[in-house]
Structure 1
Amino acid sequence: MAVHKVSLDEFEEIEYSIIAIHTPLEDYRLAYTLNLILELNLSRSAKDILIDIKEGKSFFSKYTFYDCKKDITWHLIQNKNEVTQRNNKKKATLFFDQNLEIPAQTYLLPELKKADFFLKIEACHNNFNVTKTVAKMNTIATINMVYSVKTETIKSKNNLIF
């Protein structure tokens, strides 16, 4: 029987940048606004991002655009979602027994709870300028705050693999 060893050097790591977005806009309105300002064509992905947590399953919306001229993939990802957790313990009240449903807030990246959305930019080349993109996004009046996130500081990087 042959033994095949796999080293970590054999895996190719995709370089990406993360931009955090704070806005009260819905996901489809934000995608439309980013399409106008950044000249993109973000469209809703057929599959949402599924994260299993102790409260239940949580789905985060995702919009994707691949720019073949510049060889850049753009992903607009929702960070906050609400999961309804069912409490199966029957609580007896004076008049009837009831099941309680408790809403719980879930996050794609829990260490960045205040961000509403993330723009993940997968660039195969290093001449992509994130600073210019952040500056363009800061001109949008309906966005409260935009900033670049260092990918080294993200603890839950596995949630960004899709």
Structure 2
Amino acid sequence: MAIHKIQINDFISDDYELIAIHSSLDDYKLAYAINKILDTRLIKNESNIEIAIPEGKSAFSNYIFDDEKSDVQWSLIENKTTIVTSKKKVAQLFDQVDITVFLLPEYKKADYLLKIENIDYDFDEEDMIEKLLSIKNVTTAYTIETTNLKSKNNLIF
């Protein structure tokens, strides 16, 4: 009898674009601006993206849009969040420590990530980045090369 092994790399798909966005806007304001400029319908996802770290569990808010017409999935995810932990078993007022956790630690300066899945060959990322840069309070936006990304498993959700 043959043994078949399934590895995590079998499920990782590189048919998505990932755009880093630097912005001082709140997540809901950025989602609204993206909806307006890119004609999407990003809505708040009730379940956060969770990543476990030794200090505790971190939760990243995200907005999703499933474009059924073109079969494209859009996700706007915050790249950093803060968790509050205590150094001692019984926490007192000043024993708490804020720890910043990043979804993609390689891109610590990026505030948000825009993940676009199931894109086709005529996808124009330069035009999209140009539109994102026209949003007020978006400092910069750029494409992230996903092939050499160390923490790409954090993008599986």
User: Scaled by the length of structure 2, what TM-score is found?
Assistant: 0.90
1:40 counterpart residue number: 40
Q: CA deviation at 1:140?
A: 1.1
Q: Output the CA distance in 1 between the equivalents of 2:23 and 2:39.
A: 20
* Structure 2 counterpart of 1:28: 28
How many Å apart are 1:13 and its aligned residue?
2.5
Bigger radius of gyration: 1
**Alpha-carbon distance between aligned partners in 1 of 2:6 and 2:30, rounded to the nearest angstrom:** 41
Q: State the partner residue of 1:132.
A: 127
Moved more, 82-91 or 49-58: 82-91
Letter in 2 for 1:116: D
Q: 1:89, 1:99 within 8 Å by CA — same for their partners in 2?
A: no
Identify the match of residue 97 of structure 2 among 86, 93, 102: 102
Q: What does 1:71-86 correspond to in 2, within 5 Å?
A: 71-86=71-86
Contact 1:138 1:146 in 2 (8 A): yes
The aligned amino acid for 1:134 is: I
Kept in 2: contact 1:79–1:117 (CA 8 A): yes
One-letter code of the match for 2:42? L
One-letter code aligned to 1:61: S
User: Helix, strand or coil: the match of 1:153?
Assistant: coil
Partner of 1:3: 2
Q: How many residue pairs end up in the alignment?
A: 156
Deviations 1:14-38 (A, max 9, x none): 5111000000111111000100000
Aligned to 1:13: 13
| Cα distance in 2 for residues equivalent to 1:47 and 1:83 | 17
Aligned-residue CA RMSD (Å): 2.2
Aligned-residue sequence identity (percent) comes to: 39
Shift of 1:89: 6.3
Match of 2:57, SS state, is strand
C-alpha deviation, 1:6, in angstroms: 3.9
CA contact (8 A) 1:49 1:59 kept: yes
Change (3 A) 1:42 1:13: same
Counterpart check, 1:158 vs 2:153:
yes
Q: Which runs of 5+ in 1 are unaligned?
A: 92-96
Query: TM-score normalised to the size of structure 1?
Result: 0.87
Contact 1:14–1:124, Cα closer than 8 Å, also in 2: no
